[in-house]
Amino acid sequence: MNEERRKLNIGLAEMLCGGVIMDVTNVEEAKIAEEAGAVSVMALERIPSDIRKMGGVCRMSAPEMIMEIKEAVSIPVMAKCRIGHFAEAQILQELGIDFIDESEVLTPADEEHHINKWDFEAPFVCGACNLGEALRRVGEGAAMIRTKGEAGTGNVVEGVRHMRNLQRHIKALTVMSQDELYAEAKNLQAPIHLVQYVAEHGKLPVPNFAAGGVATPADASLLMQLGAETVFVGSGIFRSQNPAKTAKACVDAVAHYNEPVKLLEVSRGIGEAMPSISMEELKEQEKLAGRGW
């Protein structure tokens, strides 16, 4: 990826702003998502809540399944590869996928290294719990960051924690002097030029989306109001009582995220949200957000 390609890849992320990206596992779901107004779909064999239940190693989805979805919709299609699994990423790039998610939701393939995303032409999105992690991923070439939250739980608390954490730290950088920024880069374990960029602009060098545990239109609005530019909704759509209605309500809630009147209107009559898990029920090894380094 050269600078030109990087500009195109960050540009695509910018085009998705103010939208909802939905997890889909088949053509039918992809069409429901597109019809509801999703800006993009994430093609994967199992959504996070099912990954939690089934256990075992979770890998990149089968290419034919991703292709079927790609052919069924006109919006951009994303797919996930395991952290550090650059061979899976090579396959996804060959498939012509629009965005590759190097995702902690799948079982990591490398517990030390992430993918060198500069080796690829395709754009990558990566998860982050904090600013240091976000800037390390951008340093490796990510064109979009999403706060991780805790996928598949229907519990937005971790997503909120990560977004708050990130925004607080970004704000703190904007009032630091140059000599403080060098020390802060050391604390963050992040490249100094990216730390300087954040300090100067008050934002990440790439669009900042939110993910993990979004179950209702109100959850989506909350993350937008906390500074997300777009929201990923995974299990929240197709494990809810009425996926088509929930999908549309989430799309409307993101577009009108700071209008309570509209939020009330779209929150009515959409049925039950997905089954959820409180953080206390999760064992430490069941938490996905800790994956990634």
Partner 1 sequence: MVSIVGILYLQGCCVPHEKILKKLGVETRRIIYANDLDGCSALILPGGESTTMLKHITPKLEDAILTFAKANPVWGICAGSILMAKHVKNPSQKSLGLMDVTILRNGYGAQNESFIRKIPMKLKENDTFEGIFIRAPQIESIGDDVKVLAFDDEVPVFIEQDHLMATTFHPELAKDDAIHRYFLSKIES
Using rule CB under 8 A, residue 50 touches partner 1:
no
Helix (H, G, I), strand (E, B) or coil at 146: strand
Using rule CB under 8 A, residue 172 touches partner 1:
no
With 0-12 / 13-18 / 19 or more C-beta atoms within 10 angstroms meaning exposed / middle / buried, residue 291 is middle
Using rule CB under 8 A, residue 11 touches partner 1:
yes
Of 57 and 261, nearer to partner 1 (C-beta) is: 261
With 0-12 / 13-18 / 19 or more C-beta atoms within 10 angstroms meaning exposed / middle / buried, residue 262 is middle
Q: Which two tokens stand for residue 170?
A: 């970004």
Residue in 80, 117, 148, 248 annotated catalytic:
80
Using rule CB under 8 A, residue 12 touches partner 1:
yes
* Identity of residue 183: A
Residue 80 appears among annotated catalytic residues: yes
Among 16, 135, 199, 210, binds partner 1 (CB under 8 A): 16
Of 169 and 262, nearer to partner 1 (C-beta) is: 262
Length of the chain counted residue by residue: 293
- Distance, C-alpha 27 to centroid of its chain: 21
Of 96 and 275, nearer to partner 1 (C-beta) is: 96
Query: Could you write out the DSSP letters of every residue in 86-120?
Result: HHHHHHHHHHT-SEEEEETTSPPS-SS----GGG-
**Within positions 60 to 119, which residues make up the interface with partner 1, using CB under 8 A?**
70, 74-76, 93, 96-99
Among 84, 123, 159, 217, binds partner 1 (CB under 8 A): 123
DSSP state of 149: -
Contact call for residues 178 and 242 (beta carbons, < 8 A):
no
Among 22, 32, 39, 228, binds partner 1 (CB under 8 A): 39
- For the bound state, the minimum distance from the C-beta of residue 221 to partner 1, rounded and expressed in Å, comes to 15
**Within positions 224 to 263, which residues make up the interface with partner 1, using CB under 8 A?**
248, 251-252, 255-256
Q: Which two tokens stand for residue 264?
A: 């009330």
The residues annotated with a catalytic role in the active site are: 80
**Contact footprint for partner 1 (CB under 8 A):** 4, 7-9, 11-12, 14-19, 34, 36-40, 70, 74-76, 93, 96-99, 121-123, 248, 251-252, 255-256
